[in-house]
Chains A and B, each alone.
Chain A
Amino acid sequence: MFFPPNPSSGVPVYRQLIEQIRHAIETGALRAGEQLPGTRKVAEDLVMNPNTVAKAYQELEHQGVIEMRKGLGAFVAPEGRKGGDLVQKAQPVLRAAMDRMVGIGLSEEQMRRLFESEVIRLRQEPRRE
């Protein structure tokens, strides 16, 4: 269901997994109430650290995206689609910006790098207004 994270991208692997799961929910690949694969299965399939998978699941539970049911595993929370609505609203904004960047002549790789460094900047310089 998921693809192996890129361990040397610089973005912590658990965060990459969180993004993948959020994306799967936002695009409807995983729907409210559906079960996620167990942490052990994900760790074995993607050959990654089981503690890291567990950390991603915990974080998603904390964010209210998934629910952990005792003895049963992880399920997509009923309100898990809320984030999806927001993302759908934001998508045209990003698409317009990217269309303009393509117009300027930026490559895919340049755009990706720019986006990543802007995300980091956002994290490090909390908005002051």
Chain B
Amino acid sequence: MSSDLAIETHELRKRFGAKDAVSGLTLAVPRGSICGFLGSNGAGKTTTLKMLMGMTKVSGGEGRALGLQIADARQSTEIRRRTGFVSEDKRFPWSITVGELLRFTRAFYPGWRPALAERYLNAFRLPPRASAGRLSKGLRSRLALLLALARGAELLLLDEPTEGLDPSMIEEALQALVSLVAEQGTTVFFSSHQLANVEQIADHVCIIDQGRAVVSDSLDELKARYRRVRLVFEGDPPPGGFEGARRDGRTLSLLASRNVDEIVARAKAMKARSVDVQPVTLKDIFLECSKGASS
């Protein structure tokens, strides 16, 4: 296993009763990258993050975070020490204020960065004297993110970090992540349903579908590989020949990866009247790759 990778899993598996939540997940996240972790609801994102954090037991396969085995108790402790985590529920105790929570958390982490905490307390407009548990959903998301950012962690594992935030706060949160990566070479692995956020700051993307990684690649590489192809014929399009193509009158459209040239050549041989090749967005790729969960 390579030391250039912050996260590496091989055939990772988590079984709940008779059902696999994660069923043979293989992915690789380079150090210093911002990696978007995408998948439909119930695809296995939260379970994967919890396994990486040692919060739920691995049922099979193997995984490493920061080069350490996630299934080994001692190494898992070391992973948690060096990793900032934002959980899905973002719950805090009622009996403690935001300011007290910051002072409390700070005591556990020698790498804590007070200046950074102060900066984001203001930027995220967090009220220091309010009860942490009684904050609105958006404020709790911001507080959770602040706690993860200020720890001086090498790796951030974030489960829906921008959940419940308005557009200007999302931009603020994304900027905080970008800034941390630029400054310290931190690796960020975050799940999100907001494809636009992922597309904006990620350089890597993992798409999980039914517990398996269907895509784990650099975003530039994905965009270079996929093309939307639209073929217009004189009459009815010839039956068959183009796998996965959608037919609409005289038009066939499909999402192609790698074999674009071949499709174009074949379409010309079939006397297509017009052949249009367009670049794709992350949304196109996501919808194509995460069909399993909805069917």
Interface residues of A (CB under 8 A from B): 7-14, 39-40, 43-44, 47-52, 55, 113, 116-117, 120-121, 124-125
Contacts and interface: CB of A to CB of B under 8 A. Distances in A.
Given A47-B200, A49-B201, 15 more contacts: A7-B196, A7-B282, A8-B195, A8-B282, A9-B279, A9-B281, A10-B223, A11-B279, A12-B223, A39-B182, A43-B178, A47-B175, A48-B178, A55-B220, A117-B278
Contacts of A124: 260-261, 264, 277
Contacts of A14: 220
Interface in B164-179: 171, 174-175, 178-179
B277 A117 contact: yes
B278 A50 contact: no
A67 to B, nearest CB: 21
B200 A116 contact: no
Interface residues of B, number: 34
Most B CB contacts (10 A, CB to CB) among A11, A49, A116 go to A49
Nearest to B222: A12
Contacts of B220: 12-14, 52, 55
Nearest to A120: B277
B219 interface: yes
A48 to B, nearest CB: 6
Contacts of B179: 40, 43-44
Interface string B276-295: 11111111000000000000
Interface of B is mostly: helix
Interface string B198-210: 0111110000000
A49 to B, nearest CB: 5
A7 B36 CA distance: 14
Interface of A is mostly: helix
A8 B130 CA distance: 39
A48 B181 CA distance: 11
B4 to A, nearest CB: 13
B175 A10 contact: no
A75 to B, nearest CB: 20
Given A39-B182, A43-B182, A44-B179, A51 B33 contact: yes
Contacts of A113: 278
Contacts of B223: 10-12
A64 to B, nearest CB: 21
A7 B277 contact: no
B36 to A, nearest CB: 10
B280 A47 contact: no
Contacts of A12: 219-220, 223-224
B33 A10 contact: no
A8 B264 CA distance: 24
Interface string B136-171: 000000000000000000000000000000000001
15 contacts: A7-B199, A10-B278, A11-B279, A43-B178, A48-B178, A49-B178, A49-B202, A49-B203, A50-B178, A50-B181, A51-B32, A55-B220, A120-B277, A120-B279, A124-B260
B13 interface: no
A8 B281 contact: yes
A8 B196 CA distance: 7
A11 B227 CA distance: 11
A93 to B, nearest CB: 23
A103 B109 CA distance: 67
A14 B220 CA distance: 8
A9 B199 CA distance: 10
B215 interface: no
Given A47-B178, A50-B182, A10 B201 contact: no
